[in-house]
Amino acid sequence: MKFTMLQSSLLDALQKVSGVVPARSTTPILENILFEIEDSRLRLTGTDLEVSITTEVNAESMETPGALALPARVITEMIRSLPDIPIHFDVDHTNRVKITTDQGLYQVSGIGKDNFPDRPTFSDERKVIVDNALLGRMFKKTLFAVSSEELRPALMGVFLQIMSNEFRMVATDGHRLSKIVDRSFKSDESSAKMIVPPKAVQIAMKNLAEEGTTELTLDETGLRFDFGRTMLYTRLVEGEYPDYERVIPRDNDKKLMVDKNLLIASVKRVSLFSSALTHQIRFSIEPGKLIINSEDMDVGGEAHEELAVDYTEEAMEIGYNAQYLTDILRHVDTDEVIFHLKSPVRAALVMPNVQEGEEDFIMLIMPIKLGS
Asked if residue 120 is part of any domain, the answer here is no
Q: Are 165 and 185 in contact, with CB atoms under 8 Å apart?
A: yes
Domain-terminating residue out of 62, 85, 115:
115
Coil, strand or helix at 85: coil
Q: What's the pTM?
A: 0.91
Q: Are 279 and 296 in contact, with CB atoms under 8 Å apart?
A: no
Asked if residue 294 is part of any domain, the answer here is yes
Low-confidence ranges of the chain (pLDDT < 70): 371-372
Q: Are 324 and 339 in contact, with CB atoms under 8 Å apart?
A: no
Per the DSSP assignment, residues forming a β-bridge with 258 are 337
Q: Are 368 and 319 in contact, with CB atoms under 8 Å apart?
A: yes
Separation in Å, CA 344 to CA 9, 307, 326, 347: 56, 19, 19, 8
Question: Is residue 239 domain-shared with residue 310, that is, in the same domain?
Answer: no
Asked if residue 79 is part of any domain, the answer here is yes
Residues 6 or more apart whose Cβ sits within 8 Å of residue 118:
none
Domain-terminating residue out of 246, 262, 292:
246
Listing from the earlier edge strand, what are the strands of the sheet with 301-308? 301-308, 289-296, 280-286, 316-321
Question: Is residue 292 domain-shared with residue 214, that is, in the same domain?
Answer: no
- Tell me what pLDDT residue 2 has: 94
Single-letter code of the amino acid located at 63: E
Question: Is residue 183 domain-shared with residue 98, that is, in the same domain?
Answer: no
Distance CA 371, CA 98 (A): 67
Q: Are 337 and 349 in contact, with CB atoms under 8 Å apart?
A: no
- Tell me what pLDDT residue 372 has: 47
Asked if residue 121 is part of any domain, the answer here is no
- Tell me what pLDDT residue 123 has: 76
Domain residue limits at 349 = 249-365
Distance CA 240, CA 220 (A): 13
Number of structural domains (the chain) is: 3
- Tell me what pLDDT residue 126 has: 87
Q: What is the CATH number of the domain that holds 55?
A: 3.10.150.10
Asked if residue 143 is part of any domain, the answer here is yes
Question: Is residue 213 domain-shared with residue 281, that is, in the same domain?
Answer: no
Question: Is residue 104 domain-shared with residue 149, that is, in the same domain?
Answer: no
Question: Is residue 41 domain-shared with residue 102, that is, in the same domain?
Answer: yes
Nearest-10 Cα torsion for 24, 232, 82, 109:
50
Asked if residue 372 is part of any domain, the answer here is no
Domain-terminating residue out of 231, 246, 261:
246
Q: Phi then psi for 163, rounded to 5 degrees?
A: -125, 170
- Tell me what pLDDT residue 371 has: 66
Q: Are 18 and 47 in contact, with CB atoms under 8 Å apart?
A: no
Asked if residue 370 is part of any domain, the answer here is no
Question: Is residue 224 domain-shared with residue 296, that is, in the same domain?
Answer: no
Asked if residue 208 is part of any domain, the answer here is yes
Of 335, 369, 341, 354, nearest in space to 264 by CA = 335
Of 317, 262, 328, nearest in space to 294 by CA = 317
